[in-house]
Amino acid sequence: MPPFAQLTHAAQLELLDTLTRAELTEHYGLDGAAVRMDVQQYEDNAVWRITPPDADHSFVGRLSIRDGRPAPQQRSEMRWLESLAASRTVAVPEPITTTDGQYVVPVDVPGHGEPATLALLHWLPGTAEPPYQEPNVARAMGATTAHLHHNSATVPLPGFDRPVWDAETILLDGHALTSRSGRDQLGAEGTDVLRKVTELITPALQEGSAADRGRIHGDLHRENLIHTDDGGVGVIDFDDCGSGHYLLDIATVLSSIHRIAHEIPSTYEAFAAQFIRGYTQVRPLPVGTDRLLESYLLLRDAFILNFVTTAVPVNADVASWGPRRIAGVLGHMHAYLDGQPYPGATLAAPA
């Protein structure tokens, strides 16, 4: 068999499907040959909706094959998900342990030099991308975000071992600036723009007390929010969860809605006002939100640049849209350096 990286996207998925079915049989007591496996995404992780025959429920199978978190970090992720599920304040996919009580299973992918791991979780029923233009849904999105942060602030998880998402890890040590491949994709001018942004916003990102930081989702964009069957809002895909300022989660939600709402007059501002209202009905906003939000919107887009520049060389799907996304983010950053407000930073006060 040729090296895994030389297989086509379809051939990689076919191999990963076969391997996952075998692990389901060996470690989870499922009939791997009989389950239905529907691909949800394939980037750094291959993710399937897994449905046993004649079952009224499904599972999520996540096979991490590239830049995957080591097993101790994945166990921390699963412990947080269990804590959130137990709180009954946030709907999340609850982890399923193996028949011998393990959260993750190592998987040998032939021809692939990186470690791979499989995790299985309950499927969270609902639809992705909640209808954000409905005020009650926007408020629910804010309240769900606040409940995540309330759990972080009030429920200790000793030994929580996840990445720290801050100015150092995302900007100074991020792939976009530290790797030759990343800088090549940004280009000389784009690299200079990102370096100037880094210098400008790092002091603001270092502000705040311990009360403003804790466990965060890390990738809380609209496609990771689920409009649940009972009308609420749940959260999926905690693969990037870590420790950081709560404003990074808030900025990620706002940024993802701004991208699709900004062309319709007042739509984004109306959403943001209701989102913030929902958040503050559960807990106060972090100190200095009005002043610091713009810096965290920029930090979120730097996070995107790191992801895209890492994935483009190895993932054909990301390569199809990644260069356009890089150009868009750098365009916004260039305008910011010229004195324009960063997209999403202009908010209307809640009515």
Domain boundaries of the chain, sorted by first residue: 4-123, 128-337
pTM for the whole structure? 0.94
The whole-number pLDDT of residue 67 equals 67
Instruction: State the Cα–Cα distance between residues 186 and 183, nearest whole angstrom.
Output: 5
Q: Could you read off the pLDDT of 22-55 as tens digits, one per residue?
A: 999 999 999 999 999 999 999 889 999 999 998 8
Do 316 and 242 form a contact (C-beta atoms < 8 A)? no
The CATH T-level fold of domain 4-123 is Phosphorylase Kinase; domain 1 (3.30.200)
**pLDDT mean over 292-321:** 94
Q: At what angle do helices 180-205 and 289-311 cross, to 10 degrees?
A: 170
pLDDT at 294 over 80: yes
Instruction: State the Cα–Cα distance between residues 341 and 304, nearest whole angstrom.
Output: 19
The percent helix, strand, coil of the chain (3-state, each to 5) is: 50, 15, 35
DSSP three-state, residue 179: coil
pLDDT at 214 over 70: yes
Pairing of strands 116-122, 95-96: antiparallel
User: Which of the 8 DSSP states describes residue 215?
Assistant: E
Query: Which architecture characterizes domain 128-337 according to CATH?
Result: Alpha-Beta Complex (3.90)
Instruction: State the Cα–Cα distance between residues 35 and 33, nearest whole angstrom.
Output: 6
Phi, psi dihedral angles at 291 (to 5 degrees): -85, -30
Q: Could you read off the pLDDT of 108-157 as tens digits, one per residue?
A: 999 998 889 999 999 999 999 999 999 999 999 999 999 999 999 999 99
**pLDDT mean over 316-330:** 95
Residue, of 205 and 43, whose pLDDT is higher = 205
Q: Could you read off the pLDDT of 56-101 as tens digits, one per residue?
A: 899 999 999 876 788 899 999 999 999 999 999 999 999 999 999 9
